[in-house]
Amino acid sequence: MHDIFKKSNNRHRENGPACIKYYLTGEILQEIYYINGNRDNNNSPSFIQYYPGGRIWFKKYYKNNRLHREGGPALVEYFEDGSIYYEEHYKDGVNLALL
């Protein structure tokens, strides 16, 4: 089950996720933010996935469909207790650890 918001045939929503997917229980599985068809959320997470029960599993920051974040990791994965498991830093889709 999922909800999708569109504008001119592009996924788009300015004040919330444009795509929301749910577990069969009705709890939110994923929230995906799009602006004019591009994953983007103005330096906030553009893709958030949740564990059953509502805790964040991982989040990704995108700018114009590319992993990107100024001043922090663009990919953060969490243990179910909420502590950070893994992080990666990206700028304009390039993994900064590979430079």
Domain assignments of the chain as residue spans, ordered by start: 2-98
Distance, in Å, from the CA atom of 82 to the CA atom of 57, rounded to the nearest integer, reads 8
8 CB neighbour count, 10 Å cutoff: 7
Tens of pLDDT, residues 24-46: 999 999 999 999 899 999 889 99
Which amino acid belongs to residue 21?
K
pTM reported for the whole predicted model: 0.90
Assign 15 a pLDDT band (cuts: 50, 70, 90).
confident
Q: Which CATH architecture has domain 2-98?
A: Single Sheet (2.20)
Q: Where is average pLDDT lowest: 7-16, 38-47, 76-85?
A: 7-16
Distance, in Å, from the CA atom of 6 to the CA atom of 33, rounded to the nearest integer, reads 11
Q: Are 59 and 45 in contact (CB under 8 A)?
A: yes
Place of tokens 């330096």: 43
Tens of pLDDT, residues 49-60: 999 999 999 999
Place of tokens 């114009």: 64
Average pLDDT value for residue range 58-83: 97
Which amino acid belongs to residue 33?
Y
Which amino acid belongs to residue 57?
W
Whole-number percent of the chain with pLDDT over 90: 78
* Biggest distance spanned by C-alpha atoms of the chain: 43
pLDDT of residue 1 exceeding 70, the answer is: no
Average pLDDT value for residue range 83-95: 97
